[in-house]
């Protein structure tokens, strides 16, 4: 997946003429100027440039002209990455019940996803994992002390994220929390590379984007949550935790 995204970043930048534009410019160009020149949206251009910088194809400096590294470009063209991952396994639910023997876990998802998860990944022996079919934007959410939204919010616009978080806040018991599992961007947008690539992928597949911890904090605050903290894990996905008073 990541190898495919890298190739698309390189090819798209070449097809749009981004590198030629920067090389021919007499001064540094902003994302807005580049977007106007190549005929793309500012948002999409910012994500593409961030991914190029993460791949070391562009060197971004505040007061210097951005340039390209042809050696790095050729290296990427000869490199292939292949990554397989599976979903709907309920691995997080299993980890929670293993780490906290006294807790019960409810998996909330669309009916088809729930049926697949129940039929293929769970046995009747594990009574502490339950299932709840529904649409989290429309159907009532079950009450709980902790809600884990794993790789959910990055699919949606800010407004839709706030709507969902408000529904979670309403259903959450006083003193409870919400945990977001997402790939966090650095506050200055300089990385991590995987999060930059994922954010660019969100542009063409969903309404959403990858966000920084501060951006998630703003969404959580708008939904009524407090005591917000985050942790970079050093792996693909990071954590943002917030509390309901």
Strand partners, 217: none
Our CA angle for 135, 138, 142, nearest 5°, is: 70
Token representation of residue 151: 């790789």
Dist CA 192 CA 174 (whole Å): 35
The answer to whether 68 touches 23, Cβ cutoff 8 Å, is: yes
Q: Is 230 a catalytic residue?
A: no
Q: Which of 213, 229, 230, 223 is CA-nearest to residue 244? A: 223
Token representation of residue 160: 């839709």
Residues in the chain: 245
SS3 content of the chain, % helix, strand, coil (to 5): 45, 20, 35
Strands 172-182 and 226-231: what pairing?
A: unpaired
Tokens 């599992």, located at residue: 181
Catalytic residues: 154
């Amino acid at each position: 997946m990541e190898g495919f995204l890298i190739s698309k970043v390189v090819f798209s930048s070449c097809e749009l003429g981004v590198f030629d534009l920067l090389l021919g410019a007499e001064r540094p160009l902003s994302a807005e100027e580049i977007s106007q020149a190549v005929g793309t949206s500012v948002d999409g251009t910012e994500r593409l440039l961030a991914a190029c910088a993460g791949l070391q194809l562009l060197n971004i400096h505040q007061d210097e002209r951005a340039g390209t590294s042809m050696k790095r470009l050729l290296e990427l063209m000869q490199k292939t990455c292949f990554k397989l991952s599976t979903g709907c396994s309920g691995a997080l639910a299993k980890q929670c019940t293993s780490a906290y023997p006294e807790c019960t876990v409810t998996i909330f998802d669309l009916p088809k996803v729930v049926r697949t998860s129940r039929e293929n990944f769970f046995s009747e022996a594990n009574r502490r994992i339950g299932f709840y079919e529904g649409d989290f934007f429309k159907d009532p959410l079950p009450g709980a002390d902790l809600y884990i939204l794993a790789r959910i919010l990055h699919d949606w616009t800010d407004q839709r994220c706030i709507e969902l978080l408000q529904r979670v806040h309403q259903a959450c018991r006083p003193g409870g929390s919400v945990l977001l599992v997402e790939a966090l961007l650095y506050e200055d947008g300089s990385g991590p590379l995987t999060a930059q690539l994922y954010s660019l992928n969100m542009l063409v597949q969903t309404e959403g984007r990858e966000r920084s911890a501060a951006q998630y904090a703003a969404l959580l605050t708008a939904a009524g949550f407090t005591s917000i903290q985050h942790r970079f894990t050093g792996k693909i996905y990071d954590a943002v935790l917030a509390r309901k008073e």
